[in-house]
Structure 1
């Protein structure tokens, strides 16, 4: 097993790479075993090596070196000169009468300022740019639709005319296409600029993270903020769609057939506004948590299903479950007792279950082609499909429903976003026109991540497929080796947590994979699971695993607050 990726292996000495780590050099940020401490200290005698127990790593402040006195470290800060100073500097005449502060005091003030600005970047500026990018994308989609309607109107009017005016019809449609392409190119360039800006902001956030996590004072002083520049939002480009005005069929054809008005693109620099930053007590920024080295089974609930498929959290105390029959059951987590049972309207088993933002149960029926919601124990049909069958459903942060479905002939798969019962968005192909999801009668489950990515576990493709909120492919995760059972990756259930981790159950390998929001494997959860299937997490990031093999739900703790 690879010690760099296994949570179960101990850390090894950076020098000999075999012995267990016991010490740490806070100066060089090197992990050491006891035997290698002396070797490390004489390897570079120009430094004062601060050797501490490994559990106290990064506890020693890394004072900056003095630019005037090379071997000295600066533990004070001259407020008037705005520079760190060493003891030798203080004995000179350069800083007589100047206000001096402890460098750690200045560091803490600087760190607080950086963290405050980083919070604004994370919670206000970057989300604003995400909204702007989504707005431009929606405008482009609407532009495509309206120009399509325009072409249809011209074509319909042209059908009333004789063959001799076909050339005129083609010419006008060409003008429409030219206008559309010009505006789309302008909007695409505008979107590219916004995406570049978002990338720059993300890079700045990442660099600040590195500086804040470090105790390297020089690195912190080198942090320069460009937050004011990022606050200058781009102009808002609003296309104007030309109108087609048909004429009566008489006289000169060009005048009578109709003409296009000119199209315009206007820029409104006041068109966008910064998102309002949420106050700290709203819980907008979740506490930072880290993965436990050893996940813990908290409790086990016996559901009575011969084959258990799905689990959905109603609250920290109650979970919904569904299995091989038509009954969906609500269980008390602490007591393990059955609280309520509801049968599907059609009598068929549900394909998937989820809980909406308002706490209502929603479920899909593959055979009946419906998506249904349970309110006050009454079942309402909210979506009925034609030529498609729903597989999995989830409720988004905005209150919409994401449904992944397969065509009747099993040759197509797609994700559709619904606002109430209205189709809002369809995701089916990548930028090259190739299908994003596999075909055939395979299990596919869906969830939304905290960054608004849409995540699908695609058993047929043996992959987790992740696209952004506008449907652009971000990555495919195809498993990690070695797997606990050394069998092919078989993703089924999928869920995310407050840290934007993506968790997917692997029925073949009797485990749950944890990956980060960019598709990097972090570790396995293997707590004696029996063919894990459906997954859900509660508000405290406890994981619930529906076990197909024994009909039980396991509650597992796998995160803890970062100290």
Structure 2
């Protein structure tokens, strides 16, 4: 790296000139000739003022880089653990299948051999992806470490050109890290004996114990939400609810739905790679690259799509022309749930200092309102009293935020522990209205909510795979729909029409009765 920086302040293009200013548009040092040629029409800042400004910028970028380095190191550790789990899962499944297979009749031998081959192929593909991810993370770790070391050394000096170069290099390195979506998911699609189930009606009974063991082993996913085993029951039809259509939208679970027009909506799946506009026919009208994990989406009254970016601590906008830009910087807090009130275009964001379920007195778990220009309007930090007379935050992990467009209420999907949570409803002014369920021991895992014109709330529960209709006061009115898979997202279009996104990547459109029929 000895030759990485120029030792003098001479212009790299016009050798006889010296740097005298910094171009505000290009973040580069310029000489007098640069100002009237390559940078003509731009605005400039003199070196003394620019040195202070870019030193501050470099300090902020250094903090982001150090945080990214910690995350990369944690991912490397997790990848190593995931590799071990992959070996254990695959080898354990092979042993189990082979031992159980000896007890079956000869007519099942072909099924056993096919499943064994598919698991081996799946294991090979998984390990290749893991090794690729490991190499990428190692390279990013080395690059970011090098830039951090250089930045710490340069902050004590007054070389503006070096500071600007480091500022650009660190930002590019961090952006590259966040843009890379490491493929760490283990493929378990063949672990449930799908081929055999299609050929033998009684295969489920014969393989019952084996399938239970396999399902248990596939819960050890270190990276993403894993749907736990649920008790099964016959699907029930509910009076007042009509199924309009059903279509496949993605190979992964539908994480969030944002209605756009009567027959179409934006959505993204759990990978967070793409933001797509899809019709009820299942045809994708438009697709934009997002690369945002654990994000939420919403839309303003003029059709501007907003998406939360927890890793980058910001809210991004996606315009109709496909232009993506950072809109709101949330500083040291990570944005998750996001909602917009159409009347005022007020934006409400769920913010946390860290995504976990351990809330202490120093934890930051809050809602924040922003104007349509991105200015902070209000911060909502709701607490409740404890048995000892103290207080604790009601908000633990605000996974999603939804706005009642009819009265301005704010709804929060609040995850409180692993596969457990509640729904918090606040008034437009920030006062706590009710919590559902009111008792913490109730088994309930909400994934999304939607409000209707009667100020009722539709709640999607992963435990029962049911959609509940709640009264304006928070009581259960009735069940309106039973899902085939876990309901992960809801999109309300008005007049009782609702899109339900499920964990298998399908979307079902239903229409339910908002008002109860009068009793005869």
TM-score by length of 1: 0.44
- Find the structure with the greater CA-based Rg: 1
TM-score by length of 2: 0.47
